[in-house]
Structure 1
Amino acid sequence: MSRSPWYFIPTLYFVSGLPYVIINTVSPILYKKLAVDNLQITFWTSLLYLPWVIKMFWSPIVDIYSTKRQWILTTNLLLFCAFIGTAFSLRLPNFFAISLILLILSAFISATYDIANDGFYLLTLNPEQQAFFVGIRSLFYRLATIFASGFLVFFAGYLEKYIADNSLIWMIVLISSSLIMAGVFLWHLLILPKAPIDKPNENQTQNNNFIEIITLYFRQERIWAILAFILLYRLGEAMLVKIASLFLLDKSSVGGLGLSTSPIVDRAAAKGDRVANEIMNQAVDYLVTASSSVVERIFTPGIRLEIVTTGSVWQSQWGMWEKFSQGMTGKYDFVGVILPRNEPAFGAALLARNTYQSS
Structure 2
Amino acid sequence: MTIPRTSKFIILSSLYFTQGIPNGFFRHTVPVVFRESGLSLEDIALFLPALYLPWVLKFLWSIVVERFHSKKQGKYRSWIIPLQILTAGTMVALANWQFGTSLSIFVLGVALINIFSSVQDVSTDGYAVKILSYQERGWGNAIQVGSYWLGFVVGGGFILMLMNSLGWNFLLIAMALITLLATIPLLLTRPAKRAQKEEVSQSLNQSIGLLNFLRQPTVFKILILVAAFRMLEGFIRSLVPTMFKDWGMELNEIGFTLGIVAPGAALCGALVAGILVTRLGRLHSLLLLGSMQILSAGGYMFLSSTELVDSSLIFPVVVVDHMISGMTTVALFSLMMDWSRKEHGGTDYTCMDCVGVFAMMFGTGISYLIAHYGGYTMSFGCAIPLTLLSLFIVRTLFAQIQKENHWKSSHSNN
Aligned to 1:57: 60
| Contact 1:21–1:145 (8 Å) recurs in 2 | yes
Aligned to 2:77: 69
| Contact 2:67–2:207 (8 Å) recurs in 1 | no
Q: Which SS does the other structure have where 2:96 is aligned?
A: helix
* Alpha-carbon shift at residue 18 of structure 1 (Å): 1.1
Find the aligned partners of 1:200 and 1:116 in 2 and give their Cα distance: 18
* Alpha-carbon shift at residue 263 of structure 1 (Å): 12
Aligned to 1:178: 176
Q: Which SS does the other structure have where 2:57 is aligned?
A: helix
Q: Which SS does the other structure have where 2:39 is aligned?
A: coil
Aligned to 2:12: 9
Change (3 A) 1:81 1:41: same
Change (3 A) 1:69 1:205: closer
| Contact 1:8–1:188 (8 Å) recurs in 2 | yes
Of 27, 42, 47, which residue of structure 2 is paired with 1:44?
A: 47
* Alpha-carbon shift at residue 130 of structure 1 (Å): 2.6
Change (3 A) 1:263 1:146: closer
Of 114, 120, 127, which residue of structure 2 is paired with 1:113?
A: 120
The one-character-per-residue Cα deviations of 1:222-270 (angstroms, maximum 9, x if unpaired) are xxxxxx99xx99876797478568x37xxxxxx9545557999xxxxxx
Aligned to 2:193: 196
User: How well do the aligned residues superpose, as a CA RMSD in angstroms?
Assistant: 4.0
Find the aligned partners of 2:40 and 2:16 in 1 and give their Cα distance: 33
More divergent stretch after superposition (197-206 vs 79-88): 197-206
Matched residue pairs, number?
A: 239
* Alpha-carbon shift at residue 48 of structure 1 (Å): 1.8
Residue 90 (structure 2) pairs with residue 87 (structure 1): no
The one-character-per-residue Cα deviations of 1:78-104 (angstroms, maximum 9, x if unpaired) are 11012122221336721x111111211
* Alpha-carbon shift at residue 28 of structure 1 (Å): 0.7
Q: Which amino acid aligns with 1:70?
A: S
Change (3 A) 1:23 1:188: farther
Q: Which SS does the other structure have where 1:58 is aligned?
A: helix
Q: Which amino acid aligns with 1:86?
A: L
Change (3 A) 1:195 1:92: farther
| Contact 1:15–1:181 (8 Å) recurs in 2 | yes
**Identical columns (%):** 21
- Give 1:1-359 correspondences, 5 Å limit: 2-3=3-4, 4-66=7-69, 67-90=75-98, 93-94=101-102, 96-159=103-166, 169-185=167-183, 187-188=184-185, 190-197=187-194, 205-210=204-209, 240=239, 247=245, 256-260=248-252
Find the aligned partners of 2:255 and 2:114 in 1 and give their Cα distance: 30
Find the aligned partners of 2:168 and 2:199 in 1 and give their Cα distance: 39
Find the aligned partners of 2:176 and 2:67 in 1 and give their Cα distance: 29
Q: Which SS does the other structure have where 1:8 is aligned?
A: helix
* Alpha-carbon shift at residue 49 of structure 1 (Å): 1.9
Find the aligned partners of 2:34 and 2:145 in 1 and give their Cα distance: 29
Change (3 A) 1:26 1:150: same
* Alpha-carbon shift at residue 56 of structure 1 (Å): 0.9
Change (3 A) 1:13 1:123: same
| Contact 2:18–2:151 (8 Å) recurs in 1 | yes
* Alpha-carbon shift at residue 21 of structure 1 (Å): 1.8
The one-character-per-residue Cα deviations of 1:115-170 (angstroms, maximum 9, x if unpaired) are 100111122233322333221221111111122221121111434xxxxxxxxx22
Find the aligned partners of 1:201 and 1:22 in 2 and give their Cα distance: 41
Gaps of 5+ in 1: 160-168, 222-227, 249-254, 265-359
| Contact 1:48–1:103 (8 Å) recurs in 2 | yes
Change (3 A) 1:259 1:128: closer
| Contact 1:48–1:107 (8 Å) recurs in 2 | yes
Q: Which SS does the other structure have where 1:140 is aligned?
A: helix
* Alpha-carbon shift at residue 10 of structure 1 (Å): 1.5
Find the aligned partners of 2:237 and 2:105 in 1 and give their Cα distance: 23
Find the aligned partners of 2:189 and 2:243 in 1 and give their Cα distance: 38
Q: Which amino acid aligns with 1:171?
A: N
The one-character-per-residue Cα deviations of 1:280-334 (angstroms, maximum 9, x if unpaired) are xxxxxxxxxxxxxxxxxxxxxxxxxxxxxxxxxxxxxxxxxxxxxxxxxxxxxxx
Find the aligned partners of 1:86 and 1:136 in 2 and give their Cα distance: 30
Change (3 A) 1:259 1:233: closer
Higher relative contact order (CA 8 A, sep 6+): 2
Q: Which SS does the other structure have where 2:135 is aligned?
A: helix
